Amino acid sequence: MNFKHLRQLSCIVSEPRILIHCDLDAFFASVEMLHHGFPEDEPLIIGSDPQQGRGRGIVSTCNYAARTYGVRSAMPITEAWRRCPGSPYGPGRYIRGTRSLYSMASRRVMKILRKYADKFEQASIDEAYLDITEFTNGDWDEALGLARRIKSEITDSVGLTASFGIGSTRVVAKMSSEVNKPNGIHRVLPDEIHSFFQQRSVREVPGIGPKTANRLAEWGISTVDEASELGELALARMTSERFASWLLRVVDGTTSNEVSPIRSRRSIGKERTFPVDQSNHEVVLEVLEKLTVRVMAKAREEGIAGRLAEVKLRYTGFETHTHGRSIPVAMDDTDVFLRQVRMLFAQNVNQEQNIRLVGFRLGQLEVIDHRQTTLDGIDESE
Ligand SMILES: [Mg+2]
């Protein structure tokens, strides 16, 4: 075998995939601003009626201007009002939000993204993974150019901005899309993965939750490189074997690069119908959390992990909606999914209507590989 053949062979074996993670910027708020012509520098809060600071619901989401006041998703609406009061006491603009506008805008964006992907996976209403390896002939410069083109196409034709991360694994692509957010692109080449994680706080890694981060902090470890330098054994002693093995694979760029068009094949779920349609959405959220805990316990029992969290809401009159959200790697940790569920509920519940049934479903299931899947304390940092 001559050198040329050898080289070709090694390319086939080791060629990394090129993935894009696209995340729309402050999606619901941006759609509302665009639709109503609200100025960007005016704080916009979407959620339940604040009733001048006496309202009982929560914030679905808000724009960047509102975030500078400390307003956040899933925060009680009274707290949002305290931080950024509405007229005539302050600059905040409070609206209920129009769900149909979001799905319409999302469909238009996803249609654009899909055109450029060999494999495409919509991870949530405002997020998608694209495998562009074949599309770009495996060329990372081409990938950067493609991301720029897609970004301007979205802005030109839909009027929204998005942030793009380019990387060789789902985790790296997702983290990259955060780097220059909003309205930015960041690319991490395969040989830059180690330096990308250098000095980066463990909390920034999707999958590492407060519990694990705190445990590591007790040992004086706050960055990813500090954690990985410990080596698998020492890290496993501080956290768990699964976590240690997974984190080293994250830094090596060997975690999942699979982009799957099939959103869910099988699933595990539980639902509950209220004896009387429930008007108190805090009670509904409590029940939803309990269902999530039970589903995750069942999943762990069966040795199954999942990537998709799906919340089902049926309102008075049987109007039923399901809202889904994916995390980058399959996990079986309850806290991870509780966080997804709270976010999905906060962003999607119709504050106006009573709820008849609530449900949680874990989808995009994978059989747990004990060497690969993380446990305890792992969650999604958005
Ligand atoms: Mg987003």
pLDDT tens, residue by residue, 242-292: 889 999 999 999 998 988 754 434 688 999 989 899 999 999 999 999 999
Select from 177, 193, 209 the last residue of a domain: 193
What distance in Å separates the CA atoms of residue 351 and residue 99, rounded to the nearest whole number? 11
Residue 127 is a catalytic residue: yes
Residues 176 and 244 in one domain: no
What residue numbers bound the domain in which 350 lies? 268-367
Is 257 among the domain residues?
Answer: no
Is 156 among the domain residues?
Answer: yes
pTM given for the model: 0.70
Q: Cis omega before residue 182 (within 30°)?
A: yes
Burial class from Cβ neighbours inside 10 Å (0-12, 13-18, 19+) for residue 261 reads: exposed
Give me the pLDDT at residue 86, please. Answer: 96
Are 278 and 258 contacting, i.e. CB atoms less than 8 angstroms apart? no
Number of domains in the chain: 3
Q: Cis omega before residue 85 (within 30°)?
A: no
Give me the pLDDT at residue 44, please. Answer: 98
Express each pLDDT in 148-202 by its tens digit: 999 999 999 999 999 999 999 999 999 999 999 999 999 999 999 999 999 899 9
Mean pLDDT of the chain: 88
Strand pairing class (268-278; 44-47): unpaired
Give me the pLDDT at residue 281, please. Answer: 92
List the structure tokens of 164.
């793009």
Q: Looking only at Cα atoms, what is the longest distance across the chain?
A: 79
Residues 241 and 362 in one domain: no
Give me the pLDDT at residue 266, please. Answer: 64
Give me the pLDDT at residue 346, please. Answer: 94
What distance in Å separates the CA atoms of residue 66 and residue 63, rounded to the nearest whole number? 5
Q: How far is the CA of 127 from the centre of ligand 1 (A)?
A: 6
Give me the pLDDT at residue 4, please. Answer: 43
Q: How far is the CA of 213 from the centre of ligand 1 (A)?
A: 24
Q: How far is the CA of 177 from the centre of ligand 1 (A)?
A: 10
Q: Which carries the bigger pLDDT value, residue 109 or residue 299?
A: 109
**Which residues make Cβ contacts (< 8 Å) with residue 68, sequence separation at least 6?**
43
Give me the pLDDT at residue 13, please. Answer: 42
CA angle 276, 278, 283 (to 5 degrees): 125
Q: What is the mean pLDDT of residues 345-361?
A: 94
Residues 340 and 222 in one domain: no
Is 348 among the domain residues?
Answer: yes
Residues 203 and 181 in one domain: no
Q: How far is the CA of 147 from the centre of ligand 1 (A)?
A: 16
Catalytic option among 15, 42, 121, 127? 127
Q: How far is CA 37 from CA 27, 44, 117, 162, 270, in A?
A: 15, 12, 32, 19, 41
Residues 110 and 177 in one domain: yes
pLDDT at 379 over 50: no
Express each pLDDT in 326-339 by its tens digit: 998 889 999 999 99
Q: What is the mean pLDDT of residues 216-232?
A: 93
Give me the pLDDT at residue 265, please. Answer: 44
**Which residues make Cβ contacts (< 8 Å) with residue 214, sequence separation at least 6?**
none
What distance in Å separates the CA atoms of residue 378 and residue 365, rounded to the nearest whole number? 17
The CATH number covering residue 111 comes to 3.30.70.270
Q: How far is the CA of 128 from the centre of ligand 1 (A)?
A: 10
Q: How far is the CA of 70 from the centre of ligand 1 (A)?
A: 18
Residues 64 and 177 in one domain: yes
Q: What is the mean pLDDT of residues 283-311?
A: 91
Residues 121 and 100 in one domain: yes
Residues 163 and 211 in one domain: no
Residues 118 and 164 in one domain: yes
Checking phi first, is residue 70 left (phi over 0); if not, alpha (psi -120 to 50) or beta? left
Residue type, 147: A
Residues 103 and 133 in one domain: yes
Strand pairing class (320-331; 304-315): antiparallel
